[in-house]
Chain A
Amino acid sequence: MSDRTLLQPLAVLIIALAVIVAGTFAVSALVGTTPTGSPDGATIDGQSPAQYQPEAADIDADPEDGELSVEPTQRDSRIVIDLRRTGDTTRADLEPVIEALFEAGHSVTVLTGSDDEPFGDALAGSSGLLIVQPTSPYPDGERDAVREYVDAGGHAVLTGEPTQTQVGGGLFASVSRVSFGATELAQGYGVTVGAEMLYNVNDTRNDNNFKSIYATPTRGGVLTEGVDRVTFDRSGYVATSGDDATVHYTAVEGTKTIDTRRAATYPVVVRNDSMVFVADGSFLSQPELYDADNEVFTGNLLSFLVRGDSGNFGG
């Protein structure tokens, strides 16, 4: 085999390969494809926008301080707490309230679902009745008993919330709709719970959540003494009929109803003589009890209850 026999095809190979490579390069250059680039990695500095800075994002939480205390001047009163129709508040939830009453020299009777004692008998000789968020109606006989009790001089506080969805705990969480049940009892005193829950989306006018509204006193007296503002976590409003009921607290400006978004001055604590109606049941127990001035308000309510005197009721 001669050198020429080898060299000539080799030269053709090199030239052809060069042409193919150059042609491919040229065609690809004309057509173009997705631009690529190497990541700049560490050369990118971090960003620190103004709205991410602590002074912009951090919030002021209401300090959980203060003391729950009951008026000590009146001693040896007995308070009845009716939890028989209460949805999610237990005796354990109300232990701070019971402790405060005990420390002030008062006693407490807690009625739960398992109590067989007639309602009237339980009320007899007590000075105050606290009913927490009843979710079913009071029968005629018990409504009459409450009326007679209050007429005789006993004091009563009724807390009630509007219809809402509640999630039950346990292994399998259940969701249910819960409504205020003691409508007829409340309406007997010219009040009832409003149709909607309240909310306030203004950051400075809620307790770190739009549903935790603030309310402020509208008049002086035993219910508002020492209170700057309270916060209610599941608050509705009190609808009143007639002139018998007086408003003691209203939700702060900008508070609206959650379904219809109506802004108004909503009453949340109303008193009709010896009956007080509060449109929220969450403030009596933790984690709401010590938020804002809730503990002072709760102390005021308890002091109001121990001042009652049911006299010869049931006797």
Chain B
Amino acid sequence: MADSRWPISETRAAYVVVVTLLVVLAAVVAPIAWNLGSTAADDNPTVQVVTLRGGTNDANVNAVANTLRNARTNDSVAAVVLRVDSPGGPVAPSEELYLAVNRTAAEMPVVAYVEGAAASGGYYGIAPADEIYVKPSSTVGSIGVIVQAPLSAVEQAEQVSGTYVRSGPDKAQIDQDRLREDLERLQRAFVETVMTHRGDDLSLSREEVANGRTYLGTQAVQNGFADRIGDSEAAIEAAADRSARIDGDNYDVAYTTRQVQVTLSIQAAAVDEVGGNTIYYTDTDTDTDAGESAFVRPVRYYAVWGVPVEATAHREGGTDE
């Protein structure tokens, strides 16, 4: 019998408390259960689509390499599609991208789809792919390396070398012959990488490849820089076909997209801070502590489809999708 002081019975009050608790606990526990379930459950093998839109700079390549590493260690991933729109970037991360893709291609099928451009460092990255899909408007090629040595820096190194003490004759000096030798070393590694992975498909000679020309999709299919005309779905199907672990259409497709720094700029920009989904770039030349002498990095090597632009400090953001 209800107490006259309460509008509802004790039992009902207890149930109200129970329902409230239930809502709160469910809100906390359900997402955990969801994640556990989704991770444990997926029996279908997966074609992982890894997207690189932007330059082959440190941030982008690190993100792609990390995704590829995850794909290699995830038993459910049976094949990878590289969806690329990249004009290349500095040589060092471009080589990193190549090594990461090469490693992945050694363990599972990797098919590349050139969304916009896979030129220079961008092509360096997809060279190890088992198959390369392009559209008529896709741009590939531009095999080669450039070195950016600001004329003012070259001149200053020589002219002001008397104003500071150096430990040896080559210290803090820029020499044109040595620049060319180093450029040639990087060029050889790049060209030979392309010839190693695409040599059997290419109708072009090593010299023609080294000329550094770009080709649109239809030309690329003709000369062996690419294999087929198709879209990303065709690339996904091709990757699935190539996997021994995928039977017919019984596979899932997972997308990992990274979209950072679409505009290309050859300059002294470096990742300064990664906060959430936003990456901040600052000009390292201006990022020196007050009171310290500023030193300019004398030379930079790029595997890039583009020409140097005037360096200005800038900030650009990106998002993970």
Q: Which residues of A contact B (CB under 8 A)?
A: 1, 5-6, 8-10, 12-13, 16-17, 20-22, 24-40, 44, 47, 49-52, 56-59, 61, 64, 167, 169-171, 173, 201-203, 207-209, 212, 287, 291
Contacts and interface: CB of A to CB of B under 8 A. Distances in A.
Contacts of B255: 34
B15 A28 contact: no
Nearest to B76: A35
B193 A49 contact: yes
Contacts, number: 157
7 contacts: A16-B22, A24-B37, A25-B36, A50-B196, A57-B188, A203-B188, A208-B184
B25 A17 contact: yes
Contact of A51 (B69, B77, B103, B196): B196
A171 B152 CA distance: 7
A35 B42 contact: yes
Nearest to B103: A47
Interface of B: 10-11, 14-15, 17-18, 21-22, 25-26, 29-30, 33-42, 44, 46, 48, 66, 69-77, 99, 102-103, 151-152, 155, 175-177, 180-181, 183-186, 188-189, 192-193, 196, 207, 210-211, 252, 254-256
Given A13-B21, A49-B196, A201 B211 contact: yes
A8 B254 CA distance: 45
B33 A21 contact: yes
Nearest to A291: B177
Contact of A39 (B29, B41, B69, B151): B69
Which of B14, B72, B177, B211 lies at the interface centre, i.e. has the most chain A CB atoms within 10 A of its CB?
B177
A11 to B, nearest CB: 9
Contact of B189 (A6, A35, A37, A52): A52
Contact of A9 (B11, B69, B70, B254): B11
B180 A209 contact: yes
Contacts of A25: 33-34, 36-37
A5 B155 contact: no
A166 B46 CA distance: 55
A180 B39 CA distance: 72
A1 B12 CA distance: 12
A16 B46 CA distance: 34
Contacts of A13: 18, 21-22
B254 A35 contact: yes
Contact of A61 (B35, B181, B188): B181
A287 B177 contact: yes
A199 to B, nearest CB: 10
A253 to B, nearest CB: 12
Contacts of B184: 59, 203, 208-209
A89 to B, nearest CB: 15
Contact of A59 (B175, B181, B193): B181
Contacts of B25: 17
Contacts of A29: 37-38, 40-42
A58 B185 contact: yes
B183 to A, nearest CB: 7
Contacts of B44: 32
Given A39-B66, A39-B69, A208-B181, A34 B34 contact: no
Given A30-B41, A51-B192, A167-B151, A35 B18 contact: no
> Lowest 5 CB-CB distances: which A-B pairs, in order?
A29-B41, A37-B74, A28-B37, A51-B192, A25-B37
Contacts of B155: 169
B69 to A, nearest CB: 5
Nearest to B69: A39
A57 B17 contact: no
A212 B18 contact: no
B196 A202 contact: no
Nearest to A31: B38
Contacts of B48: 35
Contacts of B196: 49-51
Nearest to A1: B10
Contacts of B189: 51-52, 56-57
Contacts of A20: 22, 26, 29-30
A28 B176 CA distance: 61
A59 B72 CA distance: 36
Nearest to A233: B176
Contacts of B188: 51, 56-57, 59, 203
B165 to A, nearest CB: 24
Contacts of B36: 25, 28
Nearest to B29: A21
